């Protein structure tokens, strides 16, 4: 063999072997098939009503039909620009008598009602529902998503898959499964036995009956703190005694217990579990890197965060009408009689439990 040829072949083969693993890289560099910046939605602000607002914009094309049907009391059906079948009801109560479901019990059309909408029980709705007025759903219904411009009521044992929003009060009867974004512009009321993930409303009442208010036996914390706030960091477990007033921010590297009736004029953080006994009030935030147990009739003004589980007992109030807040944990168990102003967010599972 010609030695030059041999050397050239050797060089060629070596180069090929070297370049072979780089071939996909070279192709990607040239083609730029995945070269866009990571997709950030610049206008996204985590707004819970995002889907409801988008759906409202989506059904805007039905506005003339809704007006017409509302005036005439008749129904109309058709196809949305994206191919979705819709049914517009002039009188929402007719939905109780219409044959909306297929044989498998599922209603496959988008329902939009020009007036108050009532839906029969034991039904599944695989498309979104819109009501220009109030909404009343029967027991054991399954919804994909629901928007009511006024009050909404979900019958016992119902479930919502994606989101539900009501312009007025939104109430869910016992056993509802709300693994979705649930929001209202005025108030949310969940009966005991309901499960939830993300709730947002100016006022969220858990397990309260009509006309009943959360009772708070403790005094308001809006009075001025006794001295200038400071930050105290404590290594190890810590306890604020019953009835004591603690002024300043407190960071505890161990477990924290706050005794009955104690008042904290500041924010509280613990690296481990926190237990609040009855009637405790916290002016700032309450944050636990572990588990958080909030006793009965406590008042917490700032955000309430637990990195693991959270248990909130009856009569507790989080946030205020003018100072809404967020209550968030991996799992949340709330006793009936708790009121939250703002957001209640169970990342994995939240449930309302009846008082023993």
- Minimal distance in Å, beta carbon 261 to other proteins? 22
- For other proteins, give the closer residue by CB, 268 or 298: 268
- For other proteins, give the closer residue by CB, 1 or 321: 321
- Minimal distance in Å, beta carbon 180 to other proteins? 15
The Cα–Cα gap between 228 and 232 comes to 13
Is there a contact between 256 and 274 (Cβ–Cβ < 8 Å)? yes
Binding piece for other proteins, criterion CB under 8 A, among 122-130, 214-222, 262-270, 291-299: 262-270
- Minimal distance in Å, beta carbon 250 to other proteins? 7
Residue of 134, 144, 255, 269 interacting with other proteins (CB under 8 A): 269
Does position 106 interact with other proteins (CB under 8 A)? The reply is: no
- Minimal distance in Å, beta carbon 234 to other proteins? 10
What residues between 326 and 355 interact with other proteins by CB under 8 A? 326, 328, 342-343, 345, 347
The Cα–Cα gap between 162 and 263 comes to 40
| HSE-CB for 9 with a 13 A CA cutoff | 6
Number of residues binding to other proteins, judged by CB under 8 A: 54
Residue of 128, 249, 273, 309 interacting with other proteins (CB under 8 A): 249
Does position 228 interact with other proteins (CB under 8 A)? The reply is: no
Q: Which long-range contacts (CB under 8 A, 24 or more apart) does 301-305 make?
A: 301/221, 301/325, 302/267, 303/327, 303/328, 304/328, 305/329
Is there a contact between 258 and 274 (Cβ–Cβ < 8 Å)? yes
The interface mask with other proteins, positions 131-170, x = CB under 8 A, is ----------------------------------------
Three-state helix/strand/coil letters over 48-114: CCHHHHHHHHHHHHHHHHHHHHHHHCCCEEEECCCCCEEEEECCHHHHHCCCCCCCCCEECCEEEEC
Of 129, 151, 323, which is closest to residue 221 (Cα–Cα)? 323
- For other proteins, give the closer residue by CB, 159 or 325: 325
Does position 236 interact with other proteins (CB under 8 A)? The reply is: no
Residue of 92, 138, 167, 284 interacting with other proteins (CB under 8 A): 284
Of 98, 84, 92, which is closest to residue 66 (Cα–Cα)? 92
The Cα–Cα gap between 12 and 6 comes to 10
Residue of 42, 97, 103, 213 interacting with other proteins (CB under 8 A): 42
Residues that bind other proteins (CB under 8 A): 21-22, 24-25, 27-29, 32-38, 40-48, 200, 231, 233, 235, 249-251, 253, 266-269, 284-285, 287, 289, 301-303, 305, 307, 319, 323-326, 328, 342-343, 345, 347
């Amino acid at each position: 063999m010609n030695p030059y040829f041999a050397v050239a072949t050797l060089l060629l083969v070596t180069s090929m072997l070297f370049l072979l693993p780089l071939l996909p890289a070279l192709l990607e560099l040239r083609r730029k098939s995945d070269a866009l910046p990571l997709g950030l939605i610049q206008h996204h602000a985590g707004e819970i009503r995002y889907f409801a607002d988008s759906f409202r914009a989506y059904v805007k094309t039905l506005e003339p039909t809704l007006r017409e049907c509302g005036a005439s009391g008749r129904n109309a059906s058709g196809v949305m620009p994206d191919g979705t079948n819709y049914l517009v009801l002039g009188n929402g109560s007719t939905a109780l008598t219409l044959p909306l479901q297929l044989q498998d019990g599922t209603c496959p059309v988008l329902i939009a009602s020009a007036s108050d909408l009532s839906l029969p029980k034991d039904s599944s709705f695989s498309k979104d529902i819109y009501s220009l007025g109030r909404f009343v759903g029967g027991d054991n219904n399954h919804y994909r998503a629901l928007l009511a411009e006024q009050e909404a009521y979900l019958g016992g044992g119902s479930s919502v898959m994606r989101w539900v929003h009501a312009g007025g009060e939104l109430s869910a009867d016992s056993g509802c499964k709300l693994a979705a974004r649930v929001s209202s512009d005025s108030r949310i009321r969940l009966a005991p036995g309901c499960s939830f993930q993300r709730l947002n409303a100016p006022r969220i009442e858990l397990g309260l009956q009509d006309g009943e208010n959360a009772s708070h036996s403790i005094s308001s914390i809006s009075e001025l703190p006794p001295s200038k706030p400071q930050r105290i960091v404590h290594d190890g477990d810590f306890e604020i005694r019953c009835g004591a007033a603690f002024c300043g921010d407190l960071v505890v590297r161990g477990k924290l217990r706050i005794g009955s009736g104690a008042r904290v004029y500041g924010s509280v953080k613990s690296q481990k579990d926190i237990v609040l006994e009855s009637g405790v009030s916290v002016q700032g935030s309450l944050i636990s890197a572990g588990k958080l147990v909030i006793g009965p009739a406590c008042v917490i003004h700032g955000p309430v965060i637990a990195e693991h589980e959270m248990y909130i007992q009856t009569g507790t109030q989080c946030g205020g009408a003018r100072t809404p807040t967020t209550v968030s944990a991996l799992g949340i168990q709330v006793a009936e009689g708790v009121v939250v102003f703002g957001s209640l967010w169970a990342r994995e599972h939240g449930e309302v439990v009846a008082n023993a």
